[in-house]
Amino acid sequence: MAPKGSPSTQPEYGKHPFQLTVEELSEELHTNIESGLSAEEIRNAQEKYGENKLKGEEGVKWYKILSKQISNAMVLVLILAMALSYGVSDYIEGGVITAVILLNVGIGFYQEYNAEKKMDSLRALSSPTANVIRNGTADHIPSPGVVPGDIVVLKTGDTIPADLRLFDVMNLECDEKILTGEAMPVVKEVDTDYADQNELEIGIGDRLNMAYASATVTKGRGSGIVVFTAMKTEIGKIAESMHGKERKENRSLSRKKYGPLQPAKGAFLRSWDGVGAFLGLTEGTPLQIKLSKLAYILLFFALLLALIVFAVNRFNVTKEVAIYAISTGIAMIPESLVAVLTITFVGGMVSMRDKNVLTRKLAALEALGGTTNICSDKTGTITQGSMITRKAFIPGNGVYTVSGSEDAFDPTQGTVSLGVQKSKEEAEAELIARREELDRLRSSAALTFKEPENKPQRNNRPEEPETEKVPLDVTENPEMTSELEAYLHAAALCNLATVRRNEKENKWQTTGDPTETALQVFAHRFGQGKKSLASKGWKQVGEYPFDSTVKRMSVIYKTPDKAETLVFTKGAVERILDLCVSVGLGEHNIEMTEEVKDGILEQMTLLAEQGLRVLAIARKNWPTDSKVTDEIPRDDIECGLTLLGLAGIYDPPRQETKDAVRDCTRAGIKVHMLTGDHPSTAAAIAKEVGIIPKDMSHLSEAVAASLVKTATEFDGLTDEEIDNLPSLPLVIARCAPHTKTRMIAALHRRKLFAAMTGDGVNDAPSLQAADVGIAMGLAGSDVAKGASDIVLTDDNFSSIVGAIQEGRRIFDNVQRFVLHLLTSNVGEVVLLICGLGFQDEQNFSVFPLSPLQILWINMVTSGFPAFGLGKEKAAWDIMSRPPHDNRKGVFTWQIICDMMVYGLLMGMLTLFTFLTIVYGPGNGNLGIDCNRSYSDECDTVFRARAAVFAELTWLILISAWEIKSIRRSMFRLDPTSENRFPFFKDVYENKFLFYSVVLGSLVVFPCVYIPGLNTNVFKHKGISWEWALSVGAVFIFVFGMEMWKLAKRQFGWFADAQEMERLEQAHRGLSLRQGFFSFSKSSTFAKEPSGTASVNGATGGLNKEQLGNSSAV
């Protein structure tokens, strides 16, 4: 049910909630800290309190969109034209222009309002969320849905959705500098009694049992009751007091603070901010601002053209000259440019949502298409995130291996075996024997052409890492030992994940981090899960959450008999080993010497080379009589440990990742994997998905050495040393958050455009530093989402590739409709300016197009095809060409030259048609006063206008089909098509554009022939033989555009060398077999300069193996 209440309505308390006990507060809010609110209570609270939103978050304002439509440069010119029309008593043209203004503003308002609504709904999907307990179950809801009385569960990285009274915390620390200005996080506690203290004497920063809306959890976890929402929260009070006071720098009017000139300076800058926002010059995406600036530059030239019209007519300003001057100015401005751009962007956002990508900032749509490098996490993004503990090395016991499990979450599936490693000499001898036997069997099978009888069957279980395993003496179903039991206790208790059997759905369910889930499932295999241990009396007394800077986590537990207090620690192997003083338990306990440490590291490498993520698990005894408090530094807890063993966790790559990396390679995008894993694990996975080549023998020694580095190695280099590397690392292992930021900086110094993924609080700086910050929707924290530009709802690497493809499609379409609109403007201006030379007997200009013809062409003819070009699907080769240069943007030299060539051709053809009709059969008779009304003397001029009107309309419309591809022939837009004549199929694919062109072409006939409409409104009349000139001009125009495209391909003008090399390789030999349109096909792939692309630092250009044959591209 939609909230109906007012956000200003809030619960009333006898005392402030921080002074009440949890029981008193629960009673006042009719909630339960165990089960939360019931469904009925939630509905009542929503009706009473409304949505949890601050003022200013209400979304789109209709009047702002309307003002934006009116402030459009084109509409301002139209308003001027309308005023002049009424001023000179031309009510027909004034009325038509009024209708055009209302239609243009109405359509623009409707489309942009709907677009903004869609954007609001999409932004809401990626806005902060809250974990709440309702009806006894955990739920994940948008923060605006939180109501007083809700039970909110907090974890590291969360943005707190409302003001909470905490009742359960575990090492909880919150960053409250947004409220208090204090840089240090505040440690929360729930035991302090504030009941008898004065509320006003205790500042919000000292109310340690409260957590405040908009603050972020930097450490630990906790739970609390929502006590205030919306504007009654502490942040809401600040927002209320600051409402309308937020100013940019130097906008103050204070003479006392900033000197006597500051009031004038501040007033001017404030006025400029208002004007700039109204005109669209200071608000919007970079491309929107550029196009708005372009519109006003064109407005200046439009006024200049109007002045020229007045000057040619000796400033004898009749109403016809005035309207023509304004109409000429209108012809200079692409009126629908900004509207088409907005709608194209919103269409892209909707399309990305369907590809599991939520766009938080429109500017990201512009940036994605030019991405040259992707820096991605491994776990859950490149890999499935569905982890399983495959190996467990326990000193003194051996290696435990899990096999045959089809469900990573089901501890009852598969078998566990114990393998005792043989000596190095025995292992090598057995491996040699096995290889010889395998070679013999292969030779035999090749001679007899027989398939092996026991060919393994594929299934859906997580794949085993492919490796040549070291021979072991294997024992099935090993017995429990004290070493194994201690290992399992540590794995289960130093763990926040849960594993449970859902009897109703007959399946196992898990919650928590995938790595911890894998360890928890492994412990459950032996009946030593966390829940089972808790029921036996294990009690947690302390916790030090995982910290990415130290890469470990610790918990402190009392044993069931309270005889011992144990510290359990898990984390990165190298970090844990540095803290260990011994290895193993009981008779197997030995001192941690350098030799022993090297042996452990060798075992870790063996596991890592199998693609396993390796963690170390350790413990130590803590004095039972020593009280555990949060004040004890973790360094004092995490020292003097005993290593219990290693865990080898396998996270299989996503099935689609390898193809996605290959797509990036073909698209000229380098993929970097930044992971916290061991270098061997990271390299194994990177090879498996194609980020680095499996065989690096063909690479130079320097390049091969730079492909995989640890964070320690990378961070140890100076910026100059990093810049001198032949290639930036494609894999960085043991990666820390600041390493990601350095990587982004290194890419920027190489003038590259980088996308960065992240999910944790500490990833926020690198997400903000990247050109495109990508947060994980499933595993990502609210802080990471808030710092990002886009959010992946499925945490899947292939979704990034899909987003880049959509970004490229949007960029291509923006180029297409910009070229289409500006081409028609250039063509009109050429015709109208040259037309000023046609003068009648009274030495007044005779206009080749009437003002209303100009308005019709600009408002109706050009607009709809431009919208259609914004809907074009992705080109067949969009991910087989290098990224475009974001620094150059849309207005490349190719676009500018195309615009001038096509526009001049369009203008010259229409001018030629007018000249032919007037100075051919018409003998140069320009009549008298033909700009005002029809007479027999004006018959030739009116017929010429009709022919020019029809011709210009058709040229603009047919140019939209031609501009579907800026370089390829219109008659073979998709060179991979086997269709002999694919033209109709290609143009019909975009149905909106198709019908815009077809219906726009047909509308010409009623405009030309309907009596009254033709002579009185459009100032033309019906024609006969003149149609031949208009139709002939269309064929000449198409031929001219095709020849220009052919010349660009033939001589390599504006060509991207890498793209042309790819086209030549992919389609050399696509031949002339297609018959009639072989010219179109062969000329499409005329040879251009070649080049090579360095892809992921591992290969040269796009070779035959990557491209395949032409039909597969």
Q: Cite the active site residues.
A: 377
CA 349, 355, 360, 364 torsion: positive or negative? Answer: negative
* Residue 107, both tokens: 């359509």
Per-position DSSP letters for 214-247, written without gaps between them: T-EEEEEEEEEEEEE-GGGSHHHHHHHHHTTT--
Specify whether the CB–CB gap between 30 and 45 falls below 8 A. no
Specify whether the CB–CB gap between 240 and 186 falls below 8 A. no
Q: What is the 3-state secondary structure (H, E, C) of 796-847?
A: CHHHHHHHHHHHHHHHHHHHHHHHHHHHHHHHHHHHHHHHCCCECCCCCECC
**What is the C-alpha separation between 303 and 1080, in angstroms, rounded?**
42
**What is the C-alpha separation between 872 and 876, in angstroms, rounded?**
12
Specify whether the CB–CB gap between 162 and 228 falls below 8 A. yes
How many H helices and E strands in the chain? Answer: 40, 28
Report the Cα 358 to chain-centroid distance in Å.
Answer: 7
**What is the C-alpha separation between 117 and 1060, in angstroms, rounded?**
42
Q: Which helix (H) or strand (E) holds 393?
A: strand 388-394
Phi, psi of 666, rounded to the nearest 5 degrees: -65, -30
**What is the C-alpha separation between 1028 and 951, in angstroms, rounded?**
10
Longest Cα–Cα distance in the chain? 119
* Residue 688, both tokens: 């498996």
Residue carrying structure tokens 């039972």: 624
**What is the C-alpha separation between 557 and 572, in angstroms, rounded?**
21
What Å distances lie between residue 903 and 295, 827, 895, 1072, CA to CA? 18, 4, 12, 32
Specify whether the CB–CB gap between 941 and 846 falls below 8 A. yes
Per-position DSSP letters for 676-719, written without gaps between them: SS-HHHHHHHHHHHTSS-S--TTS-HHHHHHHEEEHHHHHTS-H
**What is the C-alpha separation between 791 and 769, in angstroms, rounded?**
16
**What is the C-alpha separation between 1066 and 1088, in angstroms, rounded?**
13
**What is the C-alpha separation between 640 and 633, in angstroms, rounded?**
14
**What is the C-alpha separation between 1024 and 1019, in angstroms, rounded?**
17
Residue carrying structure tokens 């307990």: 133
**What is the C-alpha separation between 510 and 507, in angstroms, rounded?**
10
Determine the angle formed by the axes of helices 939-962 and 1026-1051, rounding to 10 degrees.
30
Strands 388-394 and 398-403: what pairing? antiparallel
Q: What is the 3-state secondary structure (H, E, C) of 629-684?
A: CCCCCHHHHCCCEEEEEEEEEECCECCCHHHHHHHHHHCCCEEEEECCCCHHHHHH
